[in-house]
Amino acid sequence: SQVTIVSRKGKLGLGSAYSAGLQAAKGDRIVLMDADLSHHPKFIPEMISVMDNGDRTGRAYDIVSGTRYRRGGGVAGWDFKRKLTSCGANFLATFLLNPGASDLTGSFRLYDRSVIESILPKVRSKGYAFQMEILVHARKEGMTIGEVPITFVDRIYGESKLGANEIILYLKGLLQLFFTT
């Protein structure tokens, strides 16, 4: 089967959900995306192409991140407050950590299996800082990160889990990474 459903008991945090999914994934490459299709699958072939073609030296990228914050990328359906929160979170992370990627809070990613297997044991974040922490560790270990501009479309059904508690956890994770990496 090409799709595996990972069921967990209770709410254990977004980062631990990502981690459980990444550990259960099969194959040499792993795509991480929102199941509500806010991340459109049409971008996956371009992400694969970018990974294969690599950087200026011809070295394949280890991670390819879908980005809302490069030319050609964006968001649809967000109000001003949500845009400000996302831009602010990315600005702070870029300023404090300088990870060499434009969208640290996005979760549309293509990973080489060997890369995610080496990084996951080092990741401590359980919330929205999880994705940021992966890129910080990857850059610290000399791994390459490519980007593909995407348009993120806000979900039609349900609501975002981004609230005050998640923002506080993100800021704690950001500061922890700043002081420890």
What pLDDT, on a 0 to 100 scale, did the predictor assign at position 35? 79
pLDDT digits (tens, 9 = 90+) for 34-70: 878 889 999 999 999 999 998 888 889 999 999 999 9
pLDDT of the residue at 139: 93
pLDDT digits (tens, 9 = 90+) for 136-148: 999 999 999 999 9
DSSP assignment of the chain, as one string? --------SS---HHHHHHHHHHH--SSEEEE--TTSSS-GGGHHHHHHHHHH-STTSPPPSEEEEESSSTT-EEES--HHHHHHHHHHHHHHHHHH--S-S-SS---EEEEHHHHHHHGGG----STHHHHHHHHHHHHTT--EEEEE-EEE--SSS-----HHHHHHHHHHHHHHHHH-
In degrees, rounded to 5, the angle at the alpha carbon of residue 1 between the alpha carbons of residues 62 and 64 is 15
pLDDT at 79 (0 to 100) = 87
Cβ contact 62:112 at 8 Å: yes
C-beta atoms surrounding 15 within 10 Å? 21
Residues 95-146: tens digit of each pLDDT: 999 888 999 888 899 999 999 999 999 998 877 788 899 999 999 999 999 9
Residues present in the chain in total: 181
